[in-house]
Amino acid sequence: MYRSQLILFVVAGWLVLIGCGSTAAPSSTDPASAPRQNPNVISSELATILQQPDPPFLLDVRTLPESQAASIPGTDALIPVDELAQRVHELDPNQAIIIYCRSGNRSGQALNILKQSGFTNVRHLAGGINTWQGQVVSGISPCVGC
């Protein structure tokens, strides 16, 4: 890994850790007191998150042929977005879930389906696997703050 890429990766991980430690624990009795979580995850952040000892559940909402062509290592399940509302019972509403698709559109739809079904700890990969492959797999650092 190139030195500048390594530095950016370490800084991104550091920012994630600082951001994760700066919010107070939500009250279990008052959902309004829960800290707002950005529903978007960027590729470099996901790469860092997936290195943690207990990573979130990684859900692919593309079709089977798309998934067979390429997927993110550590993917836990494939449930196409068109089937998600009928198969939501297969997921744990108490588990942290990160959703991805090809470009971020279907994962955004899936995010809404899960939130409407009572899931509270769900996020999706901005830019989808296209961004993941372009930034993480190829080693190109994302433009942070552009």
When the pLDDT of each residue in the chain is averaged and rounded to a whole number, the result is: 78
Res. 82: pLDDT tops 50: yes
Split at pLDDT 50, 70, 90, the class of 134 is confident
pLDDT in tens, 10-63: 444 444 333 433 333 343 444 444 445 789 999 999 999 999 999 999 999 999
Task: Compute the average pLDDT of residues 97-114.
Answer: 96
Whole-angstrom CA distances from 103 to 49, 99, 117, 132, 137 are: 20, 11, 23, 10, 15
Question: What's residue 58's pLDDT?
Answer: 97
Question: What's residue 36's pLDDT?
Answer: 59
Say which CATH architecture domain 39-137 belongs to: 3-Layer(aba) Sandwich (3.40)
Residues serving a catalytic function are 101
Nearest to 121 by CA among 91, 94, 84, 85: 94
Split at pLDDT 50, 70, 90, the class of 140 is low
pLDDT in tens, 88-102: 999 999 999 999 999
Question: What's residue 137's pLDDT?
Answer: 65
